[in-house]
């Protein structure tokens, strides 16, 4: 009597997976996701300036052109930086600290990234 009563009176336990909720949180080809921001840009070296990998530099925006400086010396210019890169620099009053991530001595270019 006791066990039959408990089984009949107790609510049934059904394990259910909300498939629609899982489907809403699964990314698809056309779903909006976190935007990918360009954090590096390629710059052309100016003159016979030696640049080292991992060197901390100053990045400035002047007339939609990114200038890479070491102290007061301009070491590189980037006339066609990505729009996201310039937007990040402009959000910090047009000046930011950067780091040289790669140097290509043959083509006289370097890649510079924004430091966090």
Residues 89, 66 contacting (CB under 8 angstroms)? yes
Residues 100, 33 contacting (CB under 8 angstroms)? no
DSSP calls for 43-79: EEEPSS----TT-EEEEEEETTEEEEEETTEEEEEET
The tens place of each residue's pLDDT in the chain, 116 residues long, gives 677 777 777 777 666 677 777 777 777 777 666 566 678 899 999 988 888 999 999 999 998 899 999 989 999 999 999 888 899 899 888 899 999 999 998 999 999 999 86
Burial class of residue 84 in the structure, from the number of CB atoms within 10 Å of its CB (0-12 exposed, 13-18 middle, 19+ buried)? middle
Question: Does the model's pTM come out above 0.85?
Answer: no
């Amino acid at each position: 009597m006791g066990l039959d009563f408990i089984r009949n009176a107790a609510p049934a336990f059904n394990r259910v997976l909300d498939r629609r909720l899982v489907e809403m949180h699964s990314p698809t080809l056309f779903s909006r996701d976190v935007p990918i921001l360009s954090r590096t840009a390629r710059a052309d070296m100016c003159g016979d300036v030696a640049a080292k990998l991992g060197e901390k530099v100053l990045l400035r925006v002047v007339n939609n052109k990114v200038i890479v400086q070491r102290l007061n010396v301009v070491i590189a210019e980037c006339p066609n930086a990505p729009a996201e890169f310039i937007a990040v620099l402009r959000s910090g009053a047009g000046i930011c600290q950067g780091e040289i991530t790669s140097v290509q001595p043959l083509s006289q270019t370097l890649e510079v990234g924004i430091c966090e």
